[in-house]
Amino acid sequence: MNTKDIYEMRTVVAAVFLGIFSIFVLKALTSFEIIPGVSYVYNLQGPSIAPNMITVILFDWRGYDTLGEAFILITAVFTTGILFGRGVLGGDVKVRDTAATRQPSVVQKVFAAPLVFIIVAFGIVITLGGHITPGGGFQGGSVIATAFFLSVVVFGLRKNVFSLSHRSLETFEGVGALIYLCLGLAGLGLSGYYLYNVGADFYPGLGVAQWAVNLLSYPDATNAGIIPYLNIGIALKVLSGFCTIITVLMGAEKK
């Protein structure tokens, strides 16, 4: 039996397994009966924190999952950096920028720059209103990152509207993640539970000091507590993470 036969056999086996798998998955999905489950409890208790249930779940009940999610993005950003020479074992490898500057056409120049500012403003609105209206840190951050993409595509990496260096993007990302981690640590220090929503103080029996509650409650009509601050941290992190990835991938040498 030579290599080609083995390869063909493998293909047949893969096809058979794919067929069996498809039948099982489709059968399971079509006979699915859904119960409200724990979502009902979240919908029942959530309104006393903030109006947007999904943000409340993301940043309060399952805030720790969101921390993990943020760190997946961070891991991906670091890994992309490693791929293109930053932090490789045995010293960094410098990659030459080929997409550093571009000559935009008149139409691009006239439309891109104002559009970038509008998108950034929109992203900030989405981030800050994340606990009231649909939106949040992830969405706002990625919207702002699209503004960065637009400006990079039109003006090139070096001289674009943002003119953020790689180093400052990294610092932004670190600061965003540290905001999240440290708000969690504040909860741990004050109440004994990591990521306790100190500002909302949902369970007063834990004995959180009043000054801390006042300090960390977001000043608006809702009782959102630290959720908007977490949103801001996540937005910073997502924005700079996506910007770093696009910078690195665009900077890859076109041989």
Partner 1 sequence: MNSELIPLMVVFPLISAILLNLMHGKDRAVRVYGTLAMVVVIAVPLLAVYGNHLFGAHPAIDTPAETGIALGRINLAIEYSFGFLQRALIFLLAAIATFAVLSHTSNEKRASGVYLSMVMLSIAAVSAVVMANDIFNMFVFLEILTISQAAMVVAKGDIGGYKAALKYLIFGGVAGGAILLGIALLLGTFGVLNITDLGNALSGNTKSPIVLTAVGLLVIGWLFESGLFPFHTIKSHIYSSAKADVAALLQTETKIVLVAIAIILLRLFGGLSNMSAVMVGLSVITLAFGSVMALVQTDFRRLLAFAAVGQAGLVGIGLSLGTPDGIAASIFHAVNDALAMSLLFVTVFVIYEGAKTTEFSRLGGLLTKAPRLAFLQIIGIMAVSGVPPFNAYQSEYRLIGAAFQAGYPELGVVIILGTIVTFVALMKGFFLTFLKESTAVAAIGRPQLSNALPLVTFATMVILALVCLGIGLHPGPLYDRFADVAITLTMGV
Partner 2 sequence: MNVDVQLWSFVVAGLLVIIGLYAIAFMDNLVKKIIGVMLVGDGVNLVLITEGFKPGGIVPIISEKLFSSGAVGDFANDAAYSLPFALVLTNIVIGASTLAVLLGISIKLYQHYRSLSVAHIFQEDDA
Taking CA atoms, 60 is separated from 138, 187, 197, 201, in Å, by: 15, 12, 7, 11
Is residue 202 close enough to count as binding partner 1 by CB under 8 A?
yes
Closer residue to partner 2 in complex, CB, 15/121: 15
Among 188, 209, 215, 249, binds partner 1 (CB under 8 A): 188
Which of 165, 158, 144 has its CA nearest to residue 237? Answer: 144
Structure tokens, 11: 């293909």
Rounded Cα–Cα distance for residues 180 and 230 (Å): 6
Task: List the single partner that 197 binds among partner 1, partner 2, none, CB under 5 to 8 Å by kind.
Answer: partner 1
Near partner 2 in 219-238, by CB under 8 A:
238
Is residue 98 close enough to count as binding partner 2 by CB under 8 A?
no
CB 106 to partner 2: min, Å? 32
Q: For 47, left (φ over 0), alpha (ψ -120 to 50), or beta?
A: alpha
Is residue 15 close enough to count as binding partner 1 by CB under 8 A?
no
Stretch that binds partner 1, among 41-49, 115-123, 127-135, 210-218 (CB under 8 A): 41-49
Closer residue to partner 2 in complex, CB, 133/168: 133
Q: Helix (H, G, I), strand (E, B), or coil: what is residue 64?
A: helix
Which of 210, 209, 180 has its CA nearest to residue 195? Answer: 180
Write out 147-195 in H/E/C secondary structure.
Answer: HHHHHHHHHCCCCCCCCCCHHHHHHHHHHHHHHHHHHHHHHHHHHCCCC
Structure tokens, 226: 């630290």
CB 162 to partner 1: min, Å? 20
Is residue 65 close enough to count as binding partner 2 by CB under 8 A?
yes
Stretch that binds partner 1, among 63-71, 103-111, 125-133, 146-154 (CB under 8 A): 63-71
Residues of this chain that bind partner 2 (CB under 8 A): 3, 11, 14-15, 18, 21-22, 25-26, 29-30, 32, 34, 36-40, 42-44, 46-48, 51-54, 57-58, 62, 65-66, 68-70, 72-73, 75-77, 79-80, 83-84, 132-134, 138, 238, 242, 245, 248-249, 252-253, 255
